[in-house]
Amino acid sequence: MPSGTELGAGHALGRVSGRSIVGGEVPPVQDEAEALRLSRAPGFHAVNPMTGAVMPVRFIDATPEQVQETCWRAWEAFHEIGERPPADRARLLHAIADEIMGLGDALIQIAEEETGLTPVRLTMERERTVTTLRLFGDLARKGDWVRAAIDTAEPSRRPVPKPDVRRMLRPLGPVAVFGAGNFPLAYSTAGGDTASALAAGCPVVVKGHPSHPATGELVARAACRAVTLCGFPGGTLSYLQSGGARAQAIGVEVVANPCVRAVGFTGSFEGGTSLAKAAAERPDPIPFFAEMGSVNPVFVLSGALESQAGAIAERVYGSLTSSNGQMCTCPGLLFLPRGPAAEDLLKRIGEPMNKALPEPMLSARVRAAFVERLAVAQGAKGVQVWAGSPQAGHRAAGEAQRAGEPVLCSPVLLRAAYDVFKRHRALHEEIFGPALLAVLCDGEEELVDAAALIRGSLTGTIWASGTDAALAQRIRAILEQRVGRLIFNGVPTGVEVCAAMVHGGPFPATNAPHATAVGPFAIERWCRPVCYQNAPEAFLPPELRSGNPLGILRLVNGEWTRDAVGKKPGP
Amino acid sequence: MPSGTELGAGHALGRVSGRSIVGGEVPPVQDEAEALRLSRAPGFHAVNPMTGAVMPVRFIDATPEQVQETCWRAWEAFHEIGERPPADRARLLHAIADEIMGLGDALIQIAEEETGLTPVRLTMERERTVTTLRLFGDLARKGDWVRAAIDTAEPSRRPVPKPDVRRMLRPLGPVAVFGAGNFPLAYSTAGGDTASALAAGCPVVVKGHPSHPATGELVARAACRAVTLCGFPGGTLSYLQSGGARAQAIGVEVVANPCVRAVGFTGSFEGGTSLAKAAAERPDPIPFFAEMGSVNPVFVLSGALESQAGAIAERVYGSLTSSNGQMCTCPGLLFLPRGPAAEDLLKRIGEPMNKALPEPMLSARVRAAFVERLAVAQGAKGVQVWAGSPQAGHRAAGEAQRAGEPVLCSPVLLRAAYDVFKRHRALHEEIFGPALLAVLCDGEEELVDAAALIRGSLTGTIWASGTDAALAQRIRAILEQRVGRLIFNGVPTGVEVCAAMVHGGPFPATNAPHATAVGPFAIERWCRPVCYQNAPEAFLPPELRSGNPLGILRLVNGEWTRDAVGKKPGP
């Protein structure tokens, strides 16, 4: 293991152990024999995609015993957390946010080295992460999210008395979180899945992402300090390193563990569907929430095309190249009516692309997938490369990434006629990275048909001016069946954290179209309703007691109120 | 096909065609060749379980073409229904209720002949069915169920402007409903799944249950009359006959059809899991809601046992034998502390059992499964038959049901020590029918352990008096993780239709623990949230328009209100 000196004094990597955090702590090395064993155990190194350099810390894959211990500790913690008032969870979430901020620039620096994302982007992502943690803390404290409903008894009802029935959302149990490669902070260790699970009362087992293990460990340790500080049990949050020979096995072990009661996954279609299968094949299948690939189609109608080509080109280009195209809401398909205005728009998008310098991608694996999918798309008969470099990173075709070299790519614009798009199913799939396929449609019917051809997606966008209204309505009616969020005259990137946000959508964007991964309603993924019939007050959770001690909003005999049961609703 | 005369004048079977209802009507027979083909097509007859008599109407399995046509018509109807105001759906649901009531006693008579359930029970079930239809009609009209949320724009926000974001629940598309054998009305053709799906705006394709095809056809035709009356498209509700050689194939074809966007299933564990697999293996997996087996454990603690043995025995016996034990909430396991009070309770439950006459079961298939599961339980070393007849229907052991004989069984009380129960996993599974296994526990720890051993169940019941409070709390804390509804000092049968009801639970009770099949929240199964970002007013559904034309409850910038957007919330 490296010492601080190797890395330069004060470099945060010197504080990284390279080990998993089991039940709140890195298990101490017992003796020399174990130290030797650890040095030979399956492990991995992170790679700096900006330089291609292998980073010095060796991370050790969690052992099967550690996976088991971690899940068991989470299960134990679940029962302890269940007895605590919601305000305690609120304090914990705020404390985690504070501890993450307390990591200071060291966190941004390490995350940059591990992901190649810019400090500006990472600083914004950190802001989003702590905002989300605090949002869920406040949500837990307010308590309305439990959707309490109370129907009071009518003992004199005929033919049978009406019982007293009360229900609320209760936590499912320990939640496993598979962090995202493209969001090392906001959708990883202490991101939205973790924050919403903790707010619901579910301990979290994080399966660390192999491309940013040091970032993950730093955040996990910060979160564990908050856990200790707030007097929560050690099993409240654990972090499993995973990226060596055991990487896939660890994922499956976590999903199959009987103590794990739900899973949140953000990543590839292949990873998501294969782990979802593992969850479904348990003796007791558990809820599995996967956010996977998304093509995020953009429709530009003729009125908008004529009147706003400049603005559309600028915004679409900015959205496409944001974080070098590695956003789940990156626009991948552009549908537009054939004609001079379309040519003008493509020219405006293509020009900056031809000048764009290669930018880092998250990892060699992400780049390899980008190159491969791009080659498939280009190879489809009728697809033309219109701007940018099809050989991702301005390399010669077919040349693979070399170890020790920067992991780069540059944006690409492809184009095809609608009938070409229609024929090739491969063109309907996501190319993760800064690639945009413009599909030129002849007439309105092809634009409408295109909307019907799209697979499930996180977002769909319509650019329309006043003269486009009728066609825009037709496309809206179809597109809304295929997406979680419809954007008008805007771009899909930039997911606002608010109650009305839906970050989800039909398969294959997710495998659970009824859920959102962003915003307060994301908490409902980790819960199920539990009903209490004729329960004495002492057996009811505070949320359901007649006096409403927490003052939450409840549906009492069909009316939403914060009043105690038995009182008349207020004026 | 039989004529009215064969059946006796006025018998409702004379009105039954024996055919599927595709897009609102029974497809007319084109010519003699088709009539001949139909007479040779796969089909089946219902059997009267009270007499064993094969009923005269021959029902013809839906053809693959009919399945396809039906689903396509539902898909077409979906788009038409989507354009209508919610009040239209309300009218439709009330009209269906009225048409069902309009069938009068003929419906009760046919349902009795097909299921062996008593007219009293069926009349109550019809009442429940129309109440549920009207409840969902009123829910659709009121509109609050869509969970609308609006976050308004802040164009001046830095670093990026905040968009206007609005979301609500929208229907998924056509829903396939697999009706239940044990509820020919309330959980079948126009039962809770159908009512909630129609209320959401989803057309319904009913896969008819083979044991009550005439009941199904009558109800479906009544519903289709309402569809016509209210001016809804024919594809709004279809009914597929299925019970002959194609019975299983029809189920799979429906689940796999691309026009079907969600499935509701009530039935056996085997049926539910195998169709859920088919839904998951589609190129585009769809939500599948299965309500399957449930053991409904009852814990009687010593204080209650000492003080209320008479009342407990009477209520548990009544619950167990209600509809001859063929309720999804039938109590199957009874845990109690060993001792004289336990012996007294078992005696009180056993005595009426020993005098009970055999009662009809739903079908020979249900009876065969009951006999088989009972034999497995009895065969476990350490299990004793304590009262009633283990040979279901007072037959000699091993004797199978004979054609043309009444399909009967009688209630049975088994007993075993806790360690026997613990050892035999087969004892943890549902025996569908009037069988109760009493498990005698030594000491409080065994009772607590028993609660932890239970598989997921729709309900769990605790009988406790004041002196049992501490133990009851421990059991409550564990049991609530395994059930959808916890009942105190009561019985699990009798599922109240109200907002606070949860009819659901962890696997294997259902495969979707976050859902309920009863009460207004059941509508959410057929929906997903859709979000509109910066949408012009004309592109928003009425539920999300700023003026709130429908007057629904909405979460506007974090506060629930019926006010228009832009106005200050009321006092």
Residues of B in contact with A81 (CB under 8 A): none
Q: How far is CA A233 from CA A67, A174, A476, A541, B474, in A?
A: 17, 13, 49, 21, 20
Which residues does chain A have within 8 Å of residue B528's beta carbon, measured at their own beta carbons? 484, 504, 506, 513-514
pLDDT in tens, B448-503: 999 999 999 999 999 999 999 999 999 999 999 999 999 999 999 999 999 999 99
**Could you give the residue ranges of the DSSP H alpha helices within A435-553?**
443-453, 469-479
Of residues A163, A553, A558, nearest to B560 (C-beta) = A553
Task: Select from A19, A510, A57 the least CA-distant residue to A288.
Answer: A510
State which amino acid sits at residue B133. L
* Cβ <8 Å between A490 and B163: yes
The label of the residue with tokens 């008599």 reads: B53
Question: Using an 8 Å Cβ cutoff, are A484 and A509 in contact?
Answer: yes
The mean pLDDT of chain B is 94
Distance in angstroms (rounded) separating the CA atoms of residues A425 and A453: 10
The 10s digit of each residue's pLDDT in B52-90 is 999 999 999 999 999 999 999 999 999 999 889 999 999
B485 and A CB contact within 8 Å: yes
Average pLDDT over residues B544-563: 96
Catalytic residue among B71, B224, B328, B409: B328
Q: How many CB atoms lie within 10 A of CB B532?
A: 24
pLDDT of residue B466: 95
Closest Cβ–Cβ partner in A124, A513, A533 for B485: A533
User: Cβ B469–A287 below 8 Å, yes or no?
Assistant: no
**B window 167-196, beta carbon within 8 A of A:** 167, 170, 172-173
Q: Is A531 one of the catalytic residues?
A: no
Question: With 80 as the cut, is the pLDDT of residue B141 above it?
Answer: yes
The distance from CA B371 to its chain's CA centroid, rounded to whole angstroms, is 23
What are the C-alpha distances in Å from A177 to residues A62, A198, A255, A267, A390? 15, 11, 10, 11, 35
**Per-residue DSSP letters for A311-347?**
HHHHHHHHHHHGGGG-STT---EEEEE-SHHHHHHHH
Average pLDDT of chain A to the nearest whole number: 94
Q: What is the pLDDT of residue A401?
A: 73
What is the pLDDT at residue B159? 86
Q: Is the dihedral of CA B426, B429, B430, B436 positive or negative?
A: positive
**Closest chain A C-alpha to B67 CA, distance in angstroms:** 22
State the pLDDT at residue B378. 94
How many Å apart are CA B448 and CA B479, to the nearest integer? 9
Query: Which candidate, A215, A196, A213, places its Cα nearest to that of A133?
Result: A196
Q: Given this model, what pLDDT does residue B10 score?
A: 59
| Residues B430-459: tens digit of each pLDDT | 999 999 999 999 999 999 999 999 999 999
Residue A462 in 3-state DSSP? strand
Closest CA to A100 of A215, A197, A11: A215
Report the residue from A487, A531, A558 with minimal CB separation from B534. A487
Is B4 a residue whose pLDDT tops 80? no
Residues of A in contact with B279 (CB under 8 A): none
Q: State yes or no: pLDDT of B512 exceeds 80.
A: yes
What pLDDT score was predicted for residue B570? Answer: 41
Under 8 Å between Cβ of A164 and A533? yes
Structure confidence at residue B395 as a pLDDT band (50, 70, 90): low
β-partners of residue A162 are: A154
Instruction: Report angle CA B225, B226, B227 to the nearest 5 degrees.
Output: 90
Q: Give how far B385 is from chain A: nearest CA, Å.
A: 30
B507/A284 touch (CB, cutoff 8 Å), yes or no = yes
User: What's the pLDDT tens digit per position in B42-55?
Assistant: 999 999 999 999 99
- Residue B486 and residue A532: Cβ atoms within 8 Å? yes
Map tokens 């500006």 to a residue: A120
| pLDDT value at residue A206 | 98
Percentage of chain B surpassing pLDDT 90? 90
Amino acid at A82: G
Chain B residues with CB under 8 Å of A553 CB are 560
pLDDT, residue B128, reads: 97
A497 Cβ under 8 Å from any chain B Cβ: no
Residue A349 is inside which H or E element, if any?
helix A340-355
Q: Does B521 touch chain A (CB under 8 A)?
A: yes
Smallest CA–CA distance, residue A131 to chain B, in Å, is: 15
pLDDT at A333: 98
Would the pLDDT of B310 be above 70?
Answer: yes
ipTM score of complex: 0.95
- How many pairs of residues across A and B have Cβ atoms under 8 Å apart? 186
Task: With CB atoms and an 8 Å threshold, state whether A485 touches B530.
Answer: yes
The active-site residue out of A99, A114, A217, A291 is A291
User: In angstroms, what separates the C-alpha of A54 from chain B's closest C-alpha?
Assistant: 35
pLDDT in tens, B79-135: 999 889 999 999 999 999 999 999 999 999 999 999 999 999 999 999 999 999 999
| Residue B467 CB neighbour total at 10 angstroms | 14
Question: Which residue of chain B comes nearest to A554, CA vs CA?
Answer: B500
Alpha carbon B138 to its chain centroid, in Å, reads 21
Residues B409/B359, Cβ–Cβ less than 8 Å: yes
Q: Does B533 touch chain A (CB under 8 A)?
A: yes
Q: Could you list the pLDDT tens digit for every one of the 571 residues in chain A? A: 443 334 555 577 778 999 999 998 998 888 999 999 999 999 999 999 999 999 999 999 999 999 999 999 999 999 999 889 999 999 999 999 999 999 999 999 999 999 999 999 999 999 999 999 999 999 999 999 999 999 999 999 998 899 999 999 999 999 999 999 999 999 999 999 999 999 999 999 999 999 999 999 999 999 999 999 999 999 999 999 999 999 999 999 999 999 999 999 999 999 999 999 999 999 999 999 999 989 999 999 999 999 999 999 999 999 999 999 999 999 999 999 999 999 999 999 999 999 999 999 999 999 999 999 999 999 999 999 999 987 766 565 556 777 789 999 999 999 999 999 999 999 999 999 999 999 999 999 999 999 999 999 999 999 999 999 999 999 999 999 999 999 999 999 999 999 999 999 999 999 999 999 999 999 999 999 999 999 999 999 999 999 999 999 999 999 999 999 975 544 4
Q: Find chain B residues with C-beta within 8 A of A469's C-beta.
A: 538
Chain A neighbors of B163, CB-CB under 8 A: 490, 494, 496
Whether B252 has its CB under 8 Å from any CB of chain A: the answer is no
Give residue A460's pLDDT.
Answer: 98
Contact A167 B494 (CB under 8 A): no
* pLDDT mean over B519-529: 98
B565 touches chain A (CB under 8 A): no
Is A153 an 8 Å CB contact of chain B?
no
User: Is A498 close to B151, i.e. CB distance below 8 A?
Assistant: yes
Mean pLDDT of B279-296: 95
Known catalytic membership, residue A328: yes
For residues B158-187, average pLDDT: 96
Q: Could you say which residues from 373 to 412 on chain B have a Cβ atom under 8 Å away from some Cβ of chain A?
A: none
Angle at B273 between CA B269 and CA B274, to 5 degrees: 115
The pair of three-digit structure tokens given for residue A473, joined into one six-digit string: 């309505």
Asked if B532 is an interface residue toward chain A (Cβ–Cβ < 8 A), one would say yes
- Which residue does chain A place closest to B571, by CA atoms? A571
To the nearest whole Å, the CA of B402 is away from the closest chain A CA by 36
